Amino acid sequence: MTRFTPRGLKGLIAAGAIALATALPIKAQAEVTYNLALLSDFSGPYADIMPVLGGARENVFDWWNATRGAELGVRLNYKNYETRYDAAQVASLWPGIKSELAPIAVVGLGGPDVAALTERLPEDRIPMFMPTASYGFGWRPDAWIFNPRPTYSHESAGFLTWLREKRGGDAPIKVAIMASEASPAYVDMARGLELYAEEHPDEIDLVEVIYTEVQPTDLTAQMRRVARSGAEALIIQTNTSIVVAAKRGLQANGANVPIMMSSHNGLPASGNALGGLSQLEGDYEAYGMAIAADEDTPARRFYQSLVDDHGLKAPWNVVTAMGIAQGLFVVNVIENAIAENGAEGLTGEKVREALFASPIPTEATHGFLPTLNFTPEAPFPLEGLKVNVGTVRDGRIVIEAIGVDVPDVKKW
């Protein structure tokens, strides 16, 4: 029988401990956790798309926690709050959200979040990051709410510059705009492009601006005027209902004027409302993020990796792309904040400062967004602005152009 002296026993224990430590993975550093507040709408006007958009951005946070976060020793916890896309509800919930989570960032959804929190977030020193384009009335310095895309008017001006170059010739491109006075955002979409056209008559000939109801029933007469004006494009960045009514009006007049839509009312949503994508053959969507087409792109490959390796359950469409882009926007800003300050002690203020300190290259968002360079002068990048253009060809969404330069649209 073998006997161990106390010294021998200690040596055996030490050796066993070393062997156990070698066999088990060693965590490089203690995990630091931070909270994100996700504003969502599962019961209001965007309830039909929220599971897809919300699931996409949450999956990005899970992916980041399992990859980059694990390497950095940081975990992002998140919680959804049902706002019904209502500013009063957001304002009512906010004190409780702030008290419960003490978030380092808010992940917003749309206009009601901006209306409710524009004045509060600077006081609370917590930034909010949005998924959509911005608005002229939000174009202020020292913002705490940020969009990865410029205003809708920037995006439509970029599209029209591209379409005019595609057409060729020196004549200005003839354009009509459809909007609605039911929403300040809808008015803003038209107003910015109106002013750009007034300042650049050699580029854009604005033949008509039509204001209609949010859910118009018949636009046949209005579309007859648009067709007779010789319009080469019809800009509709409002909603699917107006796209549907305008398209039916154009068809009733036998007119072939291409419509340009944005991401939230784009080809998939409007096509579905019209009975199929074939109804939008030759029409366009244009915005400052990836087009969800079947072509082999970095964005498409990253989406597939989320599906295959991280359990994303969402179709490849513009809503999913918007959610993924928003999630990547948020985690890259936070990662820059960690690089600037270390993993410990992050605050909302430090996260906001990191947005200005370092650009977010397009490679970091896997091509979902162009390279983003923020300054305190605006809530969106003012330089290096790009839009991508998609269209319907043979009943399928295809990429028509990537990285179209946006012209210098002045503040209105």
Q: Can you tell me the distance from the alpha carbon of 234 to that of 250, in angstroms, rounded to the nearest whole number?
A: 10
Of 228, 222, 234, which Cα lies nearest the Cα of 163? 234
Strand partners, 286: 389
CATH class of 152-287+388-405: alpha beta
Quick one: average pLDDT of 308-327?
96
pLDDT of residue 15: 43
6-44 residues labelled b (16+ CB within 10 A) or e (exposed):
eeeeeeeeeeeeeeeeeeeeeeeeeebebebbbbbbeeb
Cβ within 8 Å of residue 83, ≥6 positions away: 39, 40, 41, 44, 89, 90, 93, 109, 112, 113
Quick one: average pLDDT of 69-94?
96
Q: pLDDT per residue over 147-170, tens digit each?
A: 999 999 999 999 999 999 999 999
* 353 against 24, higher pLDDT: 353
pLDDT of residue 182: 87
| CATH topology agreement for domains 32-150+296-380 and 152-287+388-405 | yes
Q: pLDDT per residue over 332-349, tens digit each?
A: 999 999 999 999 999 999
Q: How confident is the model at residue 44 (pLDDT cuts 50, 70, 90)?
A: confident
Quick one: average pLDDT of 363-384?
97
> Is 404's pLDDT higher than 50?
yes
pLDDT of residue 6: 40
Q: pLDDT per residue over 1-29, tens digit each?
A: 334 344 443 443 344 444 434 344 434 45
pLDDT of residue 336: 98
Domain coordinates in residue numbering, the chain: 32-150+296-380, 152-287+388-405
| Average pLDDT of the residues of the chain | 92
pTM for the predicted model, two decimal places: 0.88
Residue 185: what are its φ and ψ, rounded to 5°?
Answer: -65, -40
Query: Which parts of 254-398 fold into alpha helices (H)?
Result: 267-274, 298-310, 318-341, 348-357
| Angle of CA points 172, 173, 176, to nearest 5° | 130
Of 360, 333, 358, which Cα lies nearest the Cα of 346? 333
Architecture of the domain spanning 32-150+296-380: 3-Layer(aba) Sandwich (3.40)
> Is 237's pLDDT higher than 60?
yes
